Amino acid sequence: MLIAPGRPAIESYASIATKVNGGSRSQRYSIRLSNVNGKEVRPGLIGPGPIGPCPTARKMKISAMLASIQIQFGKSVRRLRIRRKLSQEKLAELAGLHPTYLGRIERGRQNISLANIGKIARALKVKPLELFRSVH
């Protein structure tokens, strides 16, 4: 039992999971926390003090935004590479980067430094700004 000062006792997450699944915690399940009186309790409301914005939700929103920028940037690199009729291997060689690293950039799976943006821009014979033209 978890006990918060001045609050009714709350059953722990694991004990509820065990009850719902009949002893197995490896299956999917829905959890409903309740206090000893049987009233439903939202986990964010257990402790004292005001509830602010959820930091996890904020991180997820920022993470999604960064992923979107990476994908758009990667598409821009791929578009310019194809326009110059270069393979990923040839562009990677000209830029001094590993081909798999360049592939991850083009797929939007790799966070890229400014130094590497400059290397790719030089290899493509464009200004770094040109790589960001289609990024919104």
- pLDDT for res 40: 61
Measured in whole angstroms, the distance separating CA 57 from the mean position of its chain's CA atoms is 11
The per-residue pLDDT for range 81-131, each reduced to its tens digit, is 999 999 999 999 999 999 999 999 999 999 999 999 999 999 999 999 999
Q: 69 near 112, Cβ under 8 Å? A: no
Q: Where do the domains of the chain lie?
A: 13-45, 55-131
Q: Return the number of other C-beta atoms located less than 10 Å from residue 132's C-beta.
A: 15
The dihedrals phi and psi of 35, each to the nearest 5 degrees, come to: -85, 180
pTM for the model: 0.55
Domain 55-131 falls in which CATH fold? 434 Repressor (Amino-terminal Domain) (1.10.260)
On whether the CB atoms of residues 37 and 8 are closer than 8 A, the answer is yes
pLDDT per residue over 20-44, tens digit each?
445 555 554 445 555 556 666 555 5
Residues ≥6 apart with Cβ < 8 Å to 81: 88, 91, 106, 124
